[in-house]
Amino acid sequence: MGRGARQGNAAIIEQFIADGIPFMFGNPGTVEQGFLDALEDYDDLQYILTLQETVAVGIADGYARATGRPALLQLHSGVGLGNAIGMLYQAKRGHSPILTIAGESGVRYESMDAQMAADLVAMAKPVTKYATRVTDPRSVLRVLRRAMKIAMTPPMGPVFVALPLDVLDALNTEQIVPSSAPSTRSVPTAALVEQAARLLTGARRPLVLVGDGVAASGAQQELVRVAEQLGADVHGVNYSEVNLDVTHPLYRGDLGHMFGAVSTAAVKDADAVLVVGTYTFPEVFPDTGDPFRADARIVHIDLDDYEIAKNHPVTLGLVADPKETLSALSAQLERELSESDRAAAAERLATRRAQRPAPVTDDGSLLHAFLRELAAQVPDDVMIFDEALTAAGALNAHLPGRRPGHWFSTRGGSLGVGIPGAMGVKLAHPDKTVIGFTGDGGSMYTFQALYTAVRHDIGAKFVICNNRSYKLLDLNIEQYWRERDVAPHAYPTPFDLSRPDLGFAQIAEGFGVDALRVDDHDQVGYAVKRMLADDKPFLIDLRTTEGGDRG
């Protein structure tokens, strides 16, 4: 596009449109008023209004994850950025490509230390991949394109650009050029692929550890092929998307993100380990020793060089695209594997196939009854956003993550992403049935997201697994007591959410969202049918503590 003098307020909007960005998620403020006023003249970029910045980040995160494309997030100065920090941390941990912009009063006021003055770049740096501030009206679009490139270059992640009001008010003559990002579809040299294959052959207890780098690369089929060639058990590590159909016989489950003893037990006997698209290990309380055997041969494939050998030594680290590298590795394994290797791998695979778990049994709980009915009624291509936490085991038993791009889980530890995350997924896939699961505690961080769902006709469905407590904290403190030989006793009172009783259905209806409270088995069939009856937002308050007892 040719150059033309116009305010920076208009120029940045034209840049966003040129980059194919359809939505701006945000909450308005005075120092952003110029470009938000200019936005009224453009039909190709829709402003999605949220009532609090955490909600805006959560929707942007869900949208970016469901599309693999950048999401545009607008925050209000330092106070808005402050509200968004926790959810931006989650986006950084999950490598979500979010272009975050925030206004400030102006460069001319920098020395005044005035109302809302803050070092926005310093605030944003710990929770973003890149953070900067524009001070020259001649470089506004250049900086935005640089930020977009960094956000979209794997390993992707959120970026931040502070946009002072006086810089955007100034005339801008920069050319509109779509942003670009380099391709990282790289594969190691043939010699390195051969070395990797030789390190993995001949193992008696091979193991594969996978994370979301597999999904980001689209490497699910290649991963299955290599795992089956090796006859290797597969564990999810940093696992919040479908990196492998979880019903595959070699998949042995997610190691979780709390206790290092879990991952140590899973890896301690492996003599050859392939790590793909993850770091080891993402627990809150990791094992500070080396969980691997001293003689274990470890090959780590990841586009994020920082994660390779960050915590534990590896035999061979390959900074390369998982899809292309696994494909090359599979071809090399075909040449390297001996007949005895193939026979042993086939035997291990056959053993795991024979150990397929039995169908989920009805344990008599309302939670299982509801999920069983839901699984029977939803379409095959239903999209799930899972922040069910302590109810996640039951959820994934009935609605397991099988189809790439159709199951997303919380990551990073920030509560409250379940409702807005599902809304972002629904905006990305308006023709799909999208259901977000969260808990009573998590939902209250972002419940006002329902306003945005109604205002913008975002027909996601929401299920609150309501146990009237921060149940995960109950379970974690039980572990704490066991480790310290403390006799079990009453849970700390701050973990209890039963007083007052939260009426989620009534609160939802106050936002204009139809809702039902389900606390009896007889209600399940109708509730599921009603929830799926149309393409409007709908909420179910599922009382998982039947009879009113906390637990």
Q: Give 384-424 as a DSSP string.
A: EEE--GGGHHHHHHHS---STTSEEE--SS-TT-HHHHHHH
Lowest-pLDDT range, 19-28, 249-258, 307-316, 540-549?
A: 540-549
**pLDDT tier, 1 (very low <50, low <70, confident <90, very high otherwise):** very low
On the question of pLDDT at 529 being above 60, the answer is yes
| pLDDT the model gives residue 109 | 65
Query: What is the bridge-based pairing of β-strands 98-104 and 130-133?
Result: unpaired
* Burial class of residue 389 in the structure, from the number of CB atoms within 10 Å of its CB (0-12 exposed, 13-18 middle, 19+ buried): buried
DSSP state of 500: S
| Average pLDDT of span 157-185 | 95
Task: Label residue 389 by pLDDT band (50, 70, 90).
Answer: confident
Residue 401 pLDDT more than 60? Answer: yes
Q: What is the pLDDT of residues 291-304, one digit of tens each?
A: 999 999 999 999 99
* Residue range 26-49, pLDDT digits in tens: 999 988 989 999 999 999 999 999
Provide the mean pLDDT of the chain: 93
Four-residue CA torsion sign, 110, 111, 113, 114:
negative
Instruction: Write the CB contacts of 209 (distance below 8 Å, at least 6 apart in sequence).
Output: 234, 235, 237, 267, 273, 274, 275, 276, 278, 280
What are the Cα distances from residue 142, in Å, to 10, 164, 225, 258? 15, 15, 43, 42
Residue 377: pLDDT over 70:
yes
pLDDT at 2 over 60: no
Nearest to 92 by CA among 155, 41, 44: 155
Q: Give the residue-averaged pLDDT of 85-110.
A: 90
Q: How far apart are CA 330 and CA 223, in angstroms?
A: 9
CA–CA separation, 212 and 235 (whole Å): 12
Is the Cβ–Cβ distance between 268 and 293 less than 8 Å?
yes
The dihedrals phi and psi of 516, each to the nearest 5 degrees, come to -135, 140
Burial class (CB in 10 A: 0-12, 13-18, 19+), 404: middle
SS (H, E, C) 444-476: HHHCCHHHHHHHCCCCCEEEEEECCECHHHHHH
Rounded CA-CA distance 410/412 in Å is 7
Retrieve residue 21's tokens: 């960005």
List Cβ neighbours of 21 (8 Å cut-off, separation of 6 or more).
Answer: 45, 70, 71, 72, 99
| Helix spans in 274-389 (H) | 322-336, 339-354, 366-377
Compute the distance between CA of residue 409 and CA of residue 389 in angstroms, rounded to an integer: 9
Alpha-carbon distance 117 to 471, whole Å?
Answer: 39
For the entire predicted model, the pTM comes to 0.94
Closest C-alpha to 288, from 264, 318, 270: 264
Give the residue, 477 or 422, on which the prediction is more confident: 422
Contact assessment for residue 210 and residue 322, using Cβ atoms and an 8 Å cutoff: no
**Do the Cβ atoms of 446 and 414 come closer than 8 Å?**
no
Q: Could you tell me which residue, 199 or 470, shows the higher pLDDT? A: 199
Instruction: Find the mean pLDDT for residues 235-258.
Output: 91
Q: What is the DSSP letter of 547?
A: G
Only one residue has tokens 């259905």, namely 505
Task: Label residue 261 by pLDDT band (50, 70, 90).
Answer: confident
Q: How far apart are CA 237 and CA 247, in angstroms?
A: 16
Say how far apart CA 312 and CA 289 lie, in whole Å: 9
